Structure 1
Amino acid sequence: MHSRFHHEGRERHSRHPWGGHGMGGGFGRGGGGRGSRVGRFLEHGDLRFILLALIEEQPRHGYELIKALEERTGGAYRPSPGVVYPTLSLLEDEGFIRPATGESARKLYEITEPGREALAQNRSSVDAVFARMADAAERSGTTAPRVGRAMANLGMALQQRLSEPTVTPEALDRIVALIDETAAAIEKV
């Protein structure tokens, strides 16, 4: 199936309906992906619609979106925060998502009506990307991606929590204790 995201050559980038560069796809961490390359999940600009579709399923914050994409690919694709957060800001600026009301310290996003309309117009492209992701997840049945995903989740959670200005010395002590306890438990498995 041909979509407007699959133009030939360089024209594909200049004709993208939302314009812009660098917000699209490839793999996290500089375009290389982790482990073997499973194929290109996202064409230029697709990440906007994929994030929109995930937010349509349920309100989410940036970390949850990164985690959801990694899980859907069995660990083969993990977008970097440096790609996800600017894309969320762009979607918010365009009026496709908005911060959800709530008491969370993290910014939770929900889809707007214009966002639903944009997503509906591009549903076939989104479904095709999700199908490629499901295929990659099915093919990554080894334990290495699962362990890598779990380690990456730990790293992201630590980075996010430790970057908050409200981390008390007691909270830091508890985080260190949890890591030490987990390491000890893993040694006994």
Structure 2
Amino acid sequence: MRRRRGFVQLAILHLLKEESMHGYQIMKELEERSDGAYSASAGTIYPALQEMLDQHMIELESGADKKVYFLSEKGNERLMEFANQGEGDFWGEWKERMVWRNSEESLRLRAALEGWETQLRRTMRQIRGNPERVEELISLIDEMTNRLKNHRDQ
């Protein structure tokens, strides 16, 4: 599955609304805002920054020492969209998500999901060219999707 950076990007936009920062400052501030529950890595932050630069949500000022990122008009619009969704206190949600992410339950769920995904990919390779088995797998996935929807709504 493709890793999503949306929530990290949103956190970066919130930080840059407060002040312009360089990458290391962003990493340290994100960790601090989660009371240490999130340990930002360069492998997460810099690709997120590059993606946001490509989307024109942030801009870059290259000084003599460090690259400093700042919020663009488009990034500010994204923050306003988030605020209009009535999502509440972003940093409270940030901390809560990061604490959950490191919890035993979350780790177990992710391990189960990784095992499921591995088996799904193996099964997909094995049933290539067999329309009947493909339909069975689609039915199984649809059934699981519906069960998850029902479970969520309870």
Matched length: 96
Residue number in structure 2 paired with 1:22: 3
From the superposition, tell whether residues 136 and 23 of structure 1 become closer, same or farther in structure 2 (CA, over 3 Å).
Answer: closer
Q: Return the TM-score normalized by structure 1.
A: 0.45
Moved over 2 A (4+): 132-137
1:24-173 paired onto structure 2 within 5 Å: 24=5, 45-100=6-61, 103-123=63-83, 124-125=86-87, 127-133=88-94
SS in 2 for 1:110: strand
Sequence identity (%): 29
- Gaps spanning 5+ residues in structure 1: where? 1-12, 14-20, 25-44, 138-189
Separation in 2 of the partners of 1:133 and 1:66?
14
Inter-CA distance 132–90: structure 2 relative to 1 (3 Å threshold): same
The whole-number CA distance in structure 1 between the counterparts of 2:96 and 2:13 is 21
Structure with bigger strand share is: 2
Q: CA contact under 8 A between 1:23 and 1:83: conserved in structure 2? A: no
Q: In 2, are the aligned partners of 1:96 and 1:116 still within 8 Å (CA)?
A: yes
Measured on the aligned residues, the alpha-carbon RMSD in Å equals: 2.4
Contact 1:59–1:100 (CA under 8 A) maintained in structure 2: no
Q: Corresponding residue for 1:173?
A: none
Larger radius of gyration: 2
Query: Aligned-pair distance for 1:132?
Result: 3.2
Unpaired segments ≥5 residues, structure 2: 99-154
Write out per-residue CA displacement over residues 54-83 of structure 1, whole angstroms, 9 at most, x where no aligned residue: 111100111111100111111111121101
Q: TM-score, normalised by structure 2?
A: 0.55
Other-structure match for 2:137: none
- Give the helix-richer structure, 1 or 2: 2
Q: Which amino acid aligns with 1:64?
A: Q
Code of the residue aligned with 1:105 in structure 2: it is D
